[in-house]
A and B are shown apart, each in its own frame.
Chain A
Amino acid sequence: MSRRTVVAFVLLGSLAAAPNARCPGPNPPNPTQQVLFVPGFLEPHTPGSGASEEFATAPVITTLLGADPDLNRVSYVRTAISPASGNPPRAIAIMIPGFLGGATTYDPLARDLVRRFNGNLEVWAVDRRPNQLEDRLGAEHAIAGATDPACVASPPAANCAISEGVQFYYPDIDNAPIGDFPGPNDLDLDLDGIFDDQLPLMDAFGVTREPALMAQDDVRFMAWWGLDTYFRDWKLLVEAARVIVGQDGLVLLGGHSQGTTWAATFAAYDFDPDPSAVAAGHSLIDGLILIEGGGAGAGSETKPTLAQYQSSVASFAAPGGPNVFLSDFSGIPLQDLGTSGEVAAIAAYYQPTERAILQRTPVFGAGLLSLLLSAPATNRAIAGMFLDDDFSPNPAFRVSIGFTDNGANFYQGAGGFFPTSLYLAQPAPGGALRQWKEYDDPTLPSCPPNGVDVSPGCAILDNGPPSDPGQNPRANGVEREVTPMNNFLFTQFGKSNGFEWYFSSARPGLDFSYGRDSSALVAEHLASVDPGDEGPLVITQNAAVDVPVICIGGSNGLAPEPKSFDNYLASIATPAADEEVYILEGYAHLDVLTAANNGAVPLLEDWINRVQQKKLLESF
């Protein structure tokens, strides 16, 4: 039987319109969400391990987490409905975020799926280990007071908790304004006309302090936070999920974007270091969910030798060595993006039409981002101008959330710094703020009749036909505006957050260079170090992966065509009949997680039903 491959625009045409026509029910099930911390893999170099290899805990970590913190923990956001029967769910989907992503990126999709299954499915969205190092005190302060009178006032009072939350991370700055932004004064976060320093806040230990922000040498133990450590964390979650659903139930592992690489490599991992035994990741799960990412690739052309591998790890661990977490992306400091992004999302949700506080932070009020996002905007508009598929400079951070057209939009074609074309919003006439039109605004401009390169341009663009055979996949089809801004904002704050401030890049980057097969490294370790131990990275089971796989891409995303998944699917043993590929026409990279009436939901629902039935045929 051949693989099921569907470009799902026809299907979705009928499904997408339907849900709003129905009632939610007399008392619609409301999923609950909990952030759960459980013991993770006991990695010996990590603070709290108690092992002789344990690194000393940096003072900044103690400031954040208290004395004697244990960082060998794994955390996840559990989305569930507790049934009146008290029965456990039949299925649990464990989802791995993508590059720079946090657990709450799955928020809308998780809620939709759990609601549809009425709790008979749970979603556990995982936060990678470095998330526990994020000092979210400012964001938590902002959320706690977001509806207080000081914040509801327009303009907000200087003591609004949202402003205070931002001020926790940043002082006002008196940089010379760039162009007419934000002028005429300094970057005054709370708009009180006073040059304020950072605002210390009281934390859960009763200590009033400034942010506890990590430097590279504070977290050198991250040299051992590679795929082996992460996978052993997640294996514990998989085993915990199995206890809940039982042998007849389903434990599914999935990912979005780069999360598909993590999930697919987990499936290919051998957890038993004994070369005569195999404990493959795929044997622990019942299916793989790959969303907007092509799974595990072949890795680098030249793979590090064991000596090179060990040398790299040693250098990562040494003070002053290479960065262990990613410090910037495309010139944007990631720690700053993390600290500002969550509070900016809070401001966009609670103070949508106020002047964007994000533009008054040093992150967006100076440097590269101030050039890209120079038009004074509302809190909501700045979120759109940063991440909407028509305005974002990076296809990996795009979502279809509407448009702004109360000012000129400069069309920037692809090339140079910009991998794809985009609009650069210009200041609105008369000193007004750029406003944001929601995804379902009937006046969103389309091309045609508008011209793509004529202001204001278009929110809905026809990207043309798919690529020809032999060409790389490319964005195609007619774009759709599918994500409510609030759906996206909820992925950035709340129980957890949607951004990974300290993305562990060094060791996972080294590990990912082996792609889906580290057999040569294993062989070298067996031959030269220990014939009974396969070594530090054991990706040897990819060709044996035989679980059902569902792949969902967006035609305006990073996996825009069925062939985006071909390379990975051809590398595993799953029968073609158990490989399913769907492309949601018009969806951008993040829409597949955040869309209203999300076309991914019925696809996943149907697939889970069928995988469950197939499993029961063997066991009931």
Chain B
Amino acid sequence: MAGACALALLVAAPAIALTIAPAESSIVPQFGAAESLSGTIAVAIGSLPLAQTTTFDVIGLAASASGGATFALDPENQSPGLGVVNIAGSFLIPTLFLEIDAGGGGFPIAIANVTGTAVFDASGTVLQQLATTFEVDSGGPAGILTITVVAVPEPASIMLAGVAGAILVALALRGGTAQKGITR
């Protein structure tokens, strides 16, 4: 039973809410002034701790640039942020479908090959930081935009993730005991 519960926790891929760190996150246009980024990101990771390459899905995004532009997942795409993360914490979203609103109404844009890193705590179950840098062709006078995002767990998520991690550790320990019992 304990093993089943642990398995359920491993495959449930709960949402992990992250806050974009404005001091470290930015949009740097090819031509023009840089802007900072703030907001939230939610990701779902297939199973933790990472034992093999698993799913890494961006399932929520509400970001704003200091200049006023907003960024969200494309609401017309059923799977706008599907990706994978490997055991080293490197992630890849082959195509990230965003909706950007620079003040004149939202428009869709797909971004190819969004890569970055996910950093976990020692238990491997608590996401501590997400970092990515990618480029977007603005199609306008700003030229190529270099977008850097660094995100850390929201305080509530840290608590939840901590609790979840503790449960996992406890269940793993109990599972280990039961396993020993069976063996014995």
Contact = CB atoms under 8 A, between A and B. Distances in A.
Interface of A: 15, 18-19, 22-29, 83-85, 87, 89-90, 116-121, 602, 605-606, 609-610, 612-613, 616-620
B84 A616 contact: yes
B94 A605 contact: no
Interface string B53-87: 11100000000000000000001111110111010
A260 B77 CA distance: 26
Interface in B98-141: 99-100, 102, 104-113, 135, 137-140
Contact of B95 (A26, A28, A609, A617): A609
Contacts, number: 103
Contact of A90 (B95, B99, B109): B95
A26 B104 CA distance: 9
Name the residue in B75, B105, B108, B140 with the highest tally of chain A Cβ atoms < 10 Å from its Cβ. Answer: B108
Contact of B94 (A19, A83, A612): A612
Nearest to B75: A18
Nearest to B112: A120
A609 B82 contact: yes
Nearest to A120: B112
A84 B112 contact: no
Contact of B109 (A18, A25, A87, A609): A25
A617 B137 contact: no
A75 to B, nearest CB: 27
B92 A22 contact: no
Nearest to B110: A118
B15 interface: no
A23 to B, nearest CB: 4
A262 to B, nearest CB: 28
Contacts of B135: 84-85
B107 A118 contact: no
Given A15-B76, A602-B78, A27 B95 contact: no
A616 B94 CA distance: 9
Given A25-B107, A620-B92, 11 more contacts: A15-B76, A22-B105, A25-B100, A84-B144, A85-B135, A87-B113, A605-B77, A609-B95, A613-B83, A616-B53, A617-B54
Nearest to B106: A22
Nearest to A15: B76
B84 A26 contact: no
Nearest to A84: B137
Contacts of A84: 135, 137, 144
B53 A25 contact: no
Nearest to B46: A617
User: Chain A: interface secondary structure?
Assistant: loop
Given A90-B95, A613-B55, A620-B84, A25 B139 contact: yes
Contacts of B99: 22
Closest 6 CB pairs of A and B: A27-B139, A25-B107, A118-B110, A120-B112, A606-B78, A23-B105
22 contacts: A15-B76, A23-B105, A23-B106, A26-B140, A85-B135, A87-B112, A87-B113, A116-B77, A116-B110, A118-B95, A118-B109, A119-B112, A120-B110, A120-B113, A605-B77, A609-B82, A613-B55, A613-B83, A616-B94, A617-B84, A618-B53, A620-B86
A84 B30 CA distance: 13
A116 B111 CA distance: 10
B79 to A, nearest CB: 4
Interface of B: 53-55, 75-80, 82-84, 86, 92, 94-95, 97, 99-100, 102, 104-113, 135, 137-140, 144
B95 A610 contact: no
B110 A117 contact: yes
A84 B80 CA distance: 21
Identify the interface centre among B80, B99, B100, B139: most chain A CB within 10 Å of its CB: B139
A29 B99 CA distance: 14
A619 B90 CA distance: 13
A606 B79 contact: yes
A14 to B, nearest CB: 9
A94 B113 CA distance: 22
A101 to B, nearest CB: 28
B29 to A, nearest CB: 12
A120 B136 CA distance: 13
A18 B97 CA distance: 16
Contacts of B144: 84
Contacts of A602: 76-78
B95 A120 contact: yes
B108 to A, nearest CB: 7
B140 A610 contact: no
A348 to B, nearest CB: 31
A119 B139 CA distance: 14
A617 B78 contact: no
A23 B107 CA distance: 5
Given A22-B105, A24-B107, A87-B113, A613 B94 contact: yes
B145 to A, nearest CB: 11
B95 A616 contact: no
Contacts of B86: 620
Contacts of B137: 83-84
B82 A613 contact: yes
A102 B110 CA distance: 29
Contacts of B111: 118
Contacts of B104: 23
Contacts of A609: 77, 79-80, 82, 94-95
A121 B104 CA distance: 27
Contacts of B92: 616, 620
Contacts of A87: 112-113
Interface centre among A18, A119, A620 (most CB of B within 10 A): A620
B47 to A, nearest CB: 11
A85 B112 contact: yes
B147 to A, nearest CB: 13
Contact of B108 (A15, A22, A120, A617): A22
B79 A617 contact: no
A18 B112 contact: no
A85 to B, nearest CB: 7
A606 B97 CA distance: 11
A617 B110 contact: no
B102 A26 contact: yes
Most-contacted residue by chain B among A25, A84, A85, A89 (CB, 10 A): A25
Contacts of A117: 95, 110
A123 to B, nearest CB: 15
A110 to B, nearest CB: 16
A28 B139 contact: yes
B94 A22 contact: no
B101 to A, nearest CB: 8
